[in-house]
Amino acid sequence: MPSRLAVLVSGRGSNLQAIIEHFDNLARERVAKVVLVASNRAESPALIRAATASIDIAQFNAADDGSELLGLLRKFRIDLVVLAGYLKRIQPAVINEYAGRIVNIHPALLPAFGGEGMYGARVHEAVIASGAKETGVTVHLVDDEYDRGPIVAQWRVPVNQGDTAESLAARVLAVEHVVYPRAVEMVAILQQIESKRTD
C-alpha cells in the first residue's frame, strides 16, 4: 500500500506540483501518493493545482491548538505530512502525534540561513549579502524549533557573481523540484520498513 501523503501549502505550490508529478510518473511502483492538500489560506494558488490533479483539498485554522489540522490528518489516514511552502508553525499537538513523520524543505543549506522569519526572498538576500559562494536546499524532519529538525537531504547550488535574490531563488527552486520528491520517497520507504518492523 502506498503511503498516504498530506501536503501543506500556503502559496504557489511548485514543489507540490513536482511531488504530484514524481509519484504519478512512478505509476504502479509508487511508494506514496498525495491524498490531501491542505492550506491555512483559502486563496493559496497551490490548492488550484491540487484540485486540477483531482486531489482532495481542505482549509484549516492554523491559529488553534492543532485540533483542526489533526482532525484532517486522521480523517484522511495520513502517514506522512509534507510541508511545501507552508509558512505557519506546526502546533506541538501535531508534532507529537506525527513525530518523525513531518518533512519540510528549506531553500538554503541549514543550519545556515534558517530560523524564524527566514523564508522567501529574505533567505536568498541574506545569502548574497553574506558573500557565500554556495547555497542549496535542505530537506529535514520537523520538530518544535524552526528549521532545526534532523536533516534528511541536502544539495549544493552555486551563487554566481551578479546574482539577485530572484535569480538565485530560481536556480535553487529548480533543484528543490528534483530533490524534494525523491527525499519524500526515501522517507516514505523508511517509514514503511519501520512500521512493518514494529507490527
Q: Does 84 bind ligand GRF (CB under 6 A)?
A: yes
Residue with cell 547550488: 157
CB of 190 to ligand GRF, least distance (A): 22
Longest dimension (CA), the chain: 54
Q: Does 13 bind ligand GRF (CB under 6 A)?
A: yes
CB of 108 to ligand GRF, least distance (A): 8
For residue 51, report the phi and psi dihedrals to the nearest 5 degrees.
-60, -40
Q: Is 124 a catalytic residue?
A: no
CA angle at residue 165 from 144 to 154, to 5 degrees?
A: 45
Q: Rounded to an integer, what distance in angstroms lies between the CA atom of residue 182 and that of residue 199?
A: 26
Binding part of the chain for ligand GRF, among 35-43, 70-78, 105-113, 182-190 by CB under 6 A, reads 105-113
Binding part of the chain for ligand GRF, among 8-16, 32-40, 50-58, 153-161 by CB under 6 A, reads 8-16
What type of residue sits at position 156? R
CB of 46 to ligand GRF, least distance (A): 6
Q: Does 135 bind ligand GRF (CB under 6 A)?
A: no
Q: Rounded to an integer, what distance in angstroms lies between the CA atom of residue 95 and that of residue 92?
A: 5
Active-site residue set: 106
